[in-house]
Amino acid sequence: MLRETFLATLCASTLITAATPVFAAPVQELESEQGTLEVTTITKGLEHPWSLAFLPDRKGMLVTERPGNLRVVSVDGKLSGPIDGVPKVWAKGQGGLLDVMLSPDFRQDRTVYLSYAEGGGAGDKAGTAVGRGQLSEDLKTLKDFKVIFRQEPKLSVGNHFGSRLVFDRDGYLFITLGENNDRPTAQDLDKLQGKVVRIYPDGNVPDDNPFVGQAGVRPEIWSYGQRNPQGAALNPWTGVLWENEHGPQGGDELNIIERGKNYGWPLATHGINYSGNPIPEAKGKAAEGTVGPHHVWEKSPGLSGMTFYDGDRFNAWQHNVFIGALVSQELIRLQFDGDRVVHEERLLGELKARIRDVRQGPDGYLYVLTDEDDGALYKLGLK
């Protein structure tokens, strides 16, 4: 049933118009390897925006702001006031309102999923939570919001929450979870730190998850040994979840997530502590029983949101992956031979802004959020 619903939604999404919004907006032209890149400013004045999701029928985009607001940006760049009904968030450090995702069956159920930092842990600590509510027709209220998942225990003092939300082709919900800057917990299967989890849309746990029925192991876990995965997307050609994560000082990773696998942190890493000292638990760049990174950056760009490009508008970008970079303040474009990275290009360095999220829009353009006090939403295309 989940698969049928998801496929029906995919068919419905093709009805979304691919027409480009026409309105007066600043446009920059920047050079790239594929030709002239046109960068259109959709809106500014966002407070540390974190994620966006496209509403059907050209009704704009939902955008999260880390301090706790969910807003609508119209196709002509108008910014709404905060939507009512959003849960209270723990807005400290890297915590706050994080990812937003529409239900695969949004046209029928109008359900919106949010991930966010939730307080209540001992010593004012926090963890990642995920909930869902129904968006009103006037786009002003998120009704009947209910938490469906909580990271346990709550260990963060402001670091490493993750957290991206991804539905797969069968309608299962994946959630990426940081290890709250508590390294050993990424290897502890009785905790939800440093994990990718897989649940039903209502929060229940599928019986075929890899650790279901094992004593002392959280059944939600799909994979473990993650550090701080702030980017994730479903490969549209294979249906497999891909994820990226921050290393410490160096060692950012791109991973292909497999059922039940251990991705190594902190036993294996290409990075070191910010102090310059080695990671105490690390056995080197590889460790027995763990999966090495699919691709690694020895110098950390500070990876964040990511998207696969499968649109028809710009053939030069077909089968490319785009990843936001916070530290290097760029948009990274990756080219592939099969699944192997064969080339990398850095874009948007001229903006001098932290790139928090990137999504392919229904019109075939890329949309990029900058994580700043005065954050912006940009539309990218090739001239």
Contact 361, 377 (CB under 8 A): no
- Give the C-alpha separation, 354 to 331, whole Å: 9
CA distance 168 to 239: 7
- From 48, 160, 246, 270, the catalytic residue: 160
| DSSP one-letter string for 202-271 | TSPPPTTSTTTT-TTS-TTEEEE--S---EEEE-TTT--EEEEE--SBS-EEEEE--TT-B--TTTS-S-
Count the Cβ atoms, other than its own, within 10 Å of residue 314.
18
Give the integer Cα–Cα distance in Å for 260 and 1. 24
Q: Is the dihedral of CA 208, 210, 214, 219 positive or negative?
A: negative
- Single out the residue of 345, 281, 256 nearest to residue 37, CA to CA: 345
- For residue 352, CA distances in Å to 31, 53, 186, 325, 372 come to 16, 24, 33, 11, 10
Q: Count Cα neighbours of 220 within 13 Å in the Cβ-side half-sphere.
A: 24
Q: What is the spatial distance between Cα 178 and Cα 333, in angstroms, rounded to a whole number?
A: 24
d(CA 317, CA 319): 6
Tell me how far apart the alpha carbons of residues 263 and 228 are, in angstroms, rounded to a whole number.
Answer: 12
Q: In what order do the strands lie in the sheet with 252-256?
A: 231-234, 241-245, 252-256, 295-297
- Whether 371 and 65 have beta carbons less than 8 Å apart is answered as no
Active site includes 160? yes
C-alpha triplet 257, 320, 32: angle, nearest 5°: 140
End-to-end C-alpha distance for the chain, whole angstroms? 42
Using CA atoms, how far residue 107 sits from 12, 84, 111, 232, 342, in Å, is 8, 20, 9, 24, 39
CA pair distance 372, 107, nearest whole angstrom: 32
Instruction: Please give the positions annotated as active site.
Output: 160
